[in-house]
Structure 1
Amino acid sequence: MVMIRTWIEPIVAGAQVASSFYDTSLLMVVKNHYNETTSFTNSSHEDVLQKAISNFYITYNLILGFTPILSAYILARIGDRSNRKITICIPMIGYLVSRLFLLFVILWDWPIEVMFGSAALNGLTGWFTTYWGGVMAWASQDSSESRRSLRLIIIEMVYGLAGFVGSLVSGHIFINLSIGNRQGVILVCCSLGCYVFCVLYSIFVLKTPDSVETDAQKEKKKNKSFEEIQNDPGNSEYTEKSRLLENDPIINSVPGDQTFLTPSKLILIMMFTSVILFNVASIGAEDVINIFVLKKPLSWGPVEVGYGNAAGYVNYITSFLGVFVFSRCVGDLGLIVIGMLSFNAGILIMAFVRWTYLYYVGK
């Protein structure tokens, strides 16, 4: 039972379902708001509407992107020094409180600009930056070195599957479940309910894991330390240990020669640069695509928007299968190239999307 209480997967699943509900409801609420309040002629209806939604999301995403810079660092430092639950609990509370604002916008007709304050509050409590970093650190601490990669892959799969399921049903909830003429109230309440579960689970159920011993540490406990054995040269273990150390190429390397442990600074700089550029391209493309699908030729509604978001989460499953298959044939560099080429091919297809099926092909 104690071991189960260290599992972070329930929070990952609950938070991602909540986020899927929120993303669909926010997009549709923003669209409905500007559709009712913006003045335009019939000929310019879709262009003006798309511009208004684009401006909203540009400001909203900029606030979300910049506000967590300092808070994420502070929370991470506090979490490392005291309790890792801080990097989970604080962002979850921030998500819960900040996303209450959308419910107020729907129920009491608050101005849509209130959501900029919601984004700022979300960012100041760490946002996804702190939350996901905390999840990865938690999973690493709760797993042995030999099973760490498997644990991280499982968490990614849980994240993708939860987002897939949440996105599939979000559009149906938005349309079919409402209070009066207030579409989206039930969907936002479902999202908030998932966040309440995550907050309560992280505070009262989740137990900070003790550092799991690595295989090397376990082996060291089974055997006497080399220093202890040295005190007894007649011990057979000493002879065997000495023989292993003499033949160890790392132990017997040239003193001070640590280059095999230090990666090239140029490679690190190029890796960071490529990751930044890739994220800029992918996030920018996703922002444009999410708004593009609302106008002709696709003219999607809430259900189709939910299905489109679900298609994006399928990437987590196909990526896992792709890595599993291609890792046997190519190295890490080959996997990186394959990933970038597949992304470029998908975005190229998206540039010519005029039918829904082609959107899914590009995804």
Structure 2
Amino acid sequence: MEAPFPLLVATKAPTILPAERRCHTWVSPVLFLGTVALGLQAPLCTQYLWDRLGAQLGYNGSAASGSAGCGNASGAGDLRQQELETLVSHWNLYINLAGFFVALFSVTVFGPWSDSVGRRPALILPAAGMALQAAIYLLVMYLRLHVGYFLLGRILCSLMGDYNLILASCFAYVADISDQRSRTFRIAILEACLGVAGMLASIIGGQWLKAQGYINPFWLVFAVSLAAALYAALCLQESVKESKPAKLFTLSHYMSVYRLYAAPGYQRSRQKLVLYSLTFFLIVTIHFGAKDIFVLYELSSPLCWGSDLIGYGSAASYLTYLSSLAGLRALQLCLEDTWVAELGLLSNVSGLVVISLASTTPLMFTGYGILFLSMAATPVIRAKLSKLVDEKDQGALFASVACVEGLCSLVATGVFNALYPASLHFMKGFPFLFGAIILLIPAALIG
């Protein structure tokens, strides 16, 4: 047992097992709905930027029409296409930067705060923020406002915690109601929920965009975000046993996160906490970075995918959550969690190498297929991190993990959106190959 508080775990576990059976599935709809909203919004936003900015540049390759990236018939050498790809990737960078710095402040406040007041408020606020962001995006589309207003929507959403706070609160909720033996698989179930929701959103978004354009799918983003907030407010049971009022804006929340990594005592556990956090950072950075440029990579030549194929490709990437859950459950019967994580990294490295060389649709989907176990490493690391801290610090822990994920998004966006246009002239798939090489570092750290 890796927890630094074995007596506390031993006395608490019998009292929380009934709650595990009763409450575990109840938090899943919040995560499911939030992920549907995000899974619809992210690729649609990139394609909308492609169309709006392409129209300003006089480029006639349309993401919605299915001829994206191939409209000027000059392939990868078309300078105007490369200019558009660079502009869209830079706008993605600006939007993610705007969200990260605000969310870094808000998540580290709301996460530890939820250790006192409960998880429900920390689920309601970010879901409402995502609904507000969708409403602003709709105004941009209806009124043809400048795409810079996307920054405003992202900042307001981040002030309320953004999607990372939903993730942190849901994982902390599961940690509240599960014992250490089942925690890895319970967390993997939540990650599989991410995959089901993302796959559904990707298929719906691609087909809907092709049929009716951008506005109606974004109304669905608004509706499911609002539904997640209402579900958390009206239906979800609280998992914190002794919730109590607490100040929101206080330095003690930041100190509770700091103490996890720097407080004296349990030095071995603190060292593991730092190493697992570094491993998590590298894995998730590559995951986010690859997903950031998948749509751009597929829009342009030689693949020249339309919105329907982009939807199927995004669904295939989300399917890895489900296949990784099944693989993790099967491999846990004969292997330690650490070896399961290593096999997951091997799957990730192999898939990215194939995608980096993909010049045809079948080869691209082959790369997606090889990624079938690529998401097995993250639930193992989340569970190991959770076991290293006290039960009363789960909110602070997963808030720090959410901040790490925000930093992952920032670094991934900066590196991959800069590396992608810079490598167009010598190897278009080089960012994926770069990611595969970086993943050898967490494989060594886990080993």
Please, what TM-score do these two structures have when normalized by structure 1? 0.78
Match of 1:67 in 2: 102
> Which one of 72, 91, 111 corresponds to residue 56 of structure 1?
91
Q: How does 1:114-153 map to 2 (within 5 A)?
A: 114-143=149-178, 147-153=182-188
Question: For the residues of structure 2 that align with 1:355 and 1:10, how far apart are their CA atoms?
Answer: 37
Q: Which moved more, 1:48-57 or 1:16-25?
A: 16-25
Quickly say closer, same or farther: Cα 1:332–1:142, change in 2 above 3 A: closer
CA displacement, residues 81-137 of structure 1 (integer Å, 9 cap, x when unaligned): 113211101111111101212111111001011111222122221112211110111
Q: Which amino acid aligns with 2:104?
A: I
Contact 1:294 1:300 in 2 (8 A): yes
Quickly say closer, same or farther: Cα 1:154–1:286, change in 2 above 3 A: closer
Give yes or no for the alignment of 1:357 onto 2:362.
Answer: yes
Once superposed, what is the RMSD of the aligned Cα atoms? 2.5
Contact 1:24 1:302 in 2 (8 A): no
Question: For the residues of structure 2 that align with 1:64 and 1:272, how far apart are their CA atoms?
Answer: 21
Match of 2:205 in 1: 170
Match of 1:254 in 2: none
Question: For the residues of structure 1 that align with 2:349 and 2:181, how far apart are their CA atoms?
Answer: 34
Contact 1:64 1:119 in 2 (8 A): yes
Provide structure 1 residue ranges, at least 5 long, that are not aligned to the other structure: 178-182, 213-258
Give yes or no for the alignment of 1:272 onto 2:277.
Answer: yes
Q: Which amino acid aligns with 1:52?
A: L
Q: How does 1:208-223 map to 2 (within 5 A)?
A: 208-209=238-239, 211=241
Quickly say closer, same or farther: Cα 1:195–1:39, change in 2 above 3 A: same
Contact 2:98 2:154 in 1 (8 A): yes
> Which one of 288, 292, 297 corresponds to residue 287 of structure 1?
292
Q: How does 1:93-242 map to 2 (within 5 A)?
A: 93-143=128-178, 147-177=182-212, 183-209=213-239, 211=241
Q: Which amino acid aligns with 2:289?
A: G
Match of 1:298 in 2: 303
Provide structure 2 residue ranges, at least 5 long, that are not aligned to the other structure: 1-18, 61-71, 73-77, 243-264, 369-447
Quickly say closer, same or farther: Cα 1:97–1:27, change in 2 above 3 A: same
Which segments of structure 1 move beyond 6 Å, counting only runs of 4 or more? none
Please, what TM-score do these two structures have when normalized by structure 2? 0.64
> Which one of 328, 342, 350 corresponds to residue 345 of structure 1?
350
Secondary structure at 2:119 match in 1: coil
Offset, 1:161: 1.0
Secondary structure at 2:268 match in 1: coil
Contact 2:24 2:177 in 1 (8 A): no
Larger Rg: 1
Question: For the residues of structure 2 that align with 1:262 and 1:315, how far apart are their CA atoms?
Answer: 36
Offset, 1:20: 1.8
Offset, 1:201: 1.3
Secondary structure at 1:8 match in 2: helix
Quickly say closer, same or farther: Cα 1:285–1:150, change in 2 above 3 A: closer
Question: For the residues of structure 2 that align with 1:122 and 1:170, how far apart are their CA atoms?
Answer: 21
Q: Which amino acid aligns with 2:37?
A: A
Give yes or no for the alignment of 1:19 onto 2:19.
Answer: no
Match of 1:81 in 2: 116
Secondary structure at 2:324 match in 1: helix
CA displacement, residues 157-188 of structure 1 (integer Å, 9 cap, x when unaligned): 222112111211211111213xxxxx211100
Match of 1:8 in 2: 27
Contact 1:142 1:211 in 2 (8 A): no
Question: For the residues of structure 2 that align with 1:270 and 1:5, how far apart are their CA atoms?
Answer: 29
Match of 2:261 in 1: none
Match of 2:48 in 1: 29
Contact 2:41 2:221 in 1 (8 A): yes
Contact 1:6 1:142 in 2 (8 A): no
Q: Which amino acid aligns with 1:276?
A: F
Quickly say closer, same or farther: Cα 1:18–1:106, change in 2 above 3 A: same
Offset, 1:207: 2.4
